[in-house]
Amino acid sequence: MKVLTAFNYDSNSLKNKMQQTFRLIIDCPDQLGLVANVSQFLAEHQATIVEASHHTDQQTGRFFMRHEINADSVNLSMESFASAFRQVASQFDMQWKLTDSHQKRKVALLASKESHCLNDLLHRWHSGEMYCDIPCIIANHPQMQEYADWYNIPFHWIDFASQDKQAAFEQILELLEKYEVDVTVLARFMQILPDWLCHKLAGQALNIHHSFLPSFAGAKPYQQAYDRGVKLIGATCHYVTQDLDEGPIIEQQVIRISHSDTAADLVRKGKDCEKTALANGLRYHLEDRVIIHQHKTVVFA
């Protein structure tokens, strides 16, 4: 009888295993010589390209590029490298950023009473699959405290029942600022963010909607799906915007159902879609794979 061995990524030392890369994300008007100049710049600095993705939106003439570069290969610090790139960037009128794969983002999780997405993300984080820090969990109900406690993460219950929503959301913003949060994830947070907060968190807040948008926007999507008699249900991870359920879509998942599934079965089956769509969407975001272009996304998955 022999012992099976397996890959094992259950470790908080993921960083040590992960090759350090710099990620250069570019968004600019499509122009001749663009790729050549960027590539020339990278070659001049000895940058080994681990992954490269391009996309041109033919309708808008906008160009998007993502490079993942072996950090060790570059003969400069990230700061100096960024400084040096500024000239290329300005020449081509780029919106751009350079990020370090070893630099953990701070991700705040917002929840209500449903635990499936929360638990899923926490486990992926804890097991080293999702590379980030989770400085706090904020909820409008107290039940999720147990998950926060297990994972030893500060939990903040913002009581929406005993105060007006404006005050409640101001408290949330305070917490996000206090913890210097980079990304806010609405992991089945069942309160609609006010416009001012959507604006504040633009491009940095992800939601999971429990339907295959644009079908069944709004409340009780599983009941809507049941009532309509669709044969597949789904979930949608999108950026939060002022227009409820209309934000740029990052990822969607679907699952087959039948007449024999009750509305409660849809809820159960849909949860697996929600978990996967949100986890994929967040991972793409954390790895700088998503570029928002107007009300859509480019996802270099």
Active site residues: 245
- Piece of 4-12, 83-91, 92-100, 172-180 that binds a copy of itself (CB under 8 A): 4-12
Nearest to 155 by CA among 136, 180, 168: 136
Which C-beta is closer to a copy of itself: that of 132 or that of 299? Answer: 299
Told to check if 15 binds a copy of itself by CB under 8 A, we report no
d(CA 84, CA 80): 6
Identified binder of a copy of itself from the candidate list 102, 106, 115, 171, rule CB under 8 A: 115
Identified binder of a copy of itself from the candidate list 10, 174, 177, 243, rule CB under 8 A: 10
Query: Which positions from 52 through 71 interact with a copy of itself, judged by CB under 8 A?
Result: 52-56, 58
- Are the C-beta atoms of 286 and 20 separated by less than 8 Å? no
Which C-beta is closer to a copy of itself: that of 49 or that of 82? Answer: 49
Told to check if 243 binds a copy of itself by CB under 8 A, we report no
Nearest to 248 by CA among 182, 204, 193: 204
The contact mask relative to a copy of itself for 27-56 (x = CB under 8 A, - = no) is ---x-xx-xxxxxx-xx--x-xxxxxxxxx
Q: How far is the CB of 234 from a copy of itself (least distance, A)?
A: 7
Told to check if 101 binds a copy of itself by CB under 8 A, we report no
Which C-beta is closer to a copy of itself: that of 183 or that of 249? Answer: 249
Distances (CA, A) of 202 to 195, 240, 251, 277, 298: 10, 7, 18, 20, 16
d(CA 223, CA 287): 35
- Are the C-beta atoms of 64 and 26 separated by less than 8 Å? yes
Told to check if 232 binds a copy of itself by CB under 8 A, we report yes
Query: Which positions from 147 through 186 interact with a copy of itself, judged by CB under 8 A?
Result: 150, 160, 165
- Are the C-beta atoms of 178 and 108 separated by less than 8 Å? no
Which C-beta is closer to a copy of itself: that of 115 or that of 204? Answer: 115
Angle between helices 78-91 and 34-44 (to 10 degrees): 160
What is the bridge-based pairing of β-strands 290-293 and 249-256? unpaired
